[in-house]
Amino acid sequence: MKDSYLGQAWLVLSLALVFGAALAGVQAGLSGRIADNKLNETYDQIPYLLDLIDDDGNVTVEITVKIWRTPDDKLAYQAVDPNGQAVGWVIKGVGPGFQDRIELLIGLDPEAETITGLFVLDQKETPALGNRILEDWFREQFVGKDATKGVVVTRASPVAADNEVGAISGATISSLAVGDIVNAAVKDFRARKGDLELKD
């Protein structure tokens, strides 16, 4: 018994079980609160993503937010002005980055034809390289891009075509990942835009 695998590894195995259970408990207890934090941040970012902030940092259009659900249970946030006119959409894009999952918020015009903003909700990319996807200059490149065609992330500098976005030097994979996540989320949303259901 002493020399068998179990005899050697029982402590590691039982610790792994106990710790795993403890982490599951922590996750169950806190995940609601963490999700609320992300939702609040999403609400805070909507005016920026839809370009409703003037140079002095004031909101130019008071908006209310309607939450819609796609058939596959993804959420889309629609901003509506006081006259009931749609101002734009904010959708979430999630996908693998270089290190870990990247979560993005993407702002679109009311027809979902033009990208109006990009915000990084969550990322764990390499500090000083991949995490430069947080920087304004990189994110602002996506603004005004044609959502029907999608963006192309390129290492060429300066960028040649209208729908091209310059990659961060030293962080090509993170840059490409952001482009892919944006394209996939926008394409998916455009395909399902007709089947949205208002979430209660």
Partner 1 sequence: MANDGPAPLERFLNGILPENPVYRQLLGMCPTLAVTGNMKAAMTMSAAVMFVMICANLITSSIRHLLKPHLRILVFVLTIATFVTIADRVLAAYLYQMSKELGPYIPLIIVNCIIICRCEVCASRQGLGAAAFDAVGQSIGFALALASIATVREILGAGTWFGITLLSESWWPVWGIMVLPPGAFITLGFLLGGVNWLSMPRGKKSAGCGVR
Residue 88 φ/ψ region, left for φ over 0, alpha for ψ in the -120 to 50 degree band, beta for the rest: left
Q: How are strands ordered across the β-sheet holding 64-69?
A: 115-122, 101-108, 86-96, 75-80, 64-69, 197-198
Q: For residue 143, give the DSSP letter.
A: T
Q: Does 1 bind partner 1 (CB under 8 A)?
A: no
One residue of 78, 123, 154, 174 binding partner 1 per CB under 8 A:
123
| Cα–Cα–Cα angle for 166, 171, 173, rounded to 5 degrees | 90
Residue 41 binding partner 1, by CB under 8 A: yes
Instruction: Assess 8 for contact with partner 1 (CB under 8 A).
Output: yes
CB distance 155 to 168 below 8 Å: no
Question: Which pair of tokens denotes residue 46?
Answer: 């909507």
Contact between 156 and partner 1 by CB under 8 A: the answer reads no
- Taking CB under 8 A as the binding criterion, the range among 26-34, 70-78, 148-156, 183-191 that sits at the site for partner 1 is 26-34
Q: Which of 124, 149, 155, 187 binds partner 1 (CB under 8 A)?
A: 124
Answer for which of 42, 78, 116, 131 binds partner 1 (CB under 8 A) is 131
Which residues would be at the binding site for partner 1 (CB under 8 A)? 8-9, 11-12, 15-16, 19, 22-23, 26-27, 30, 33-34, 37, 41, 99, 122-128, 131
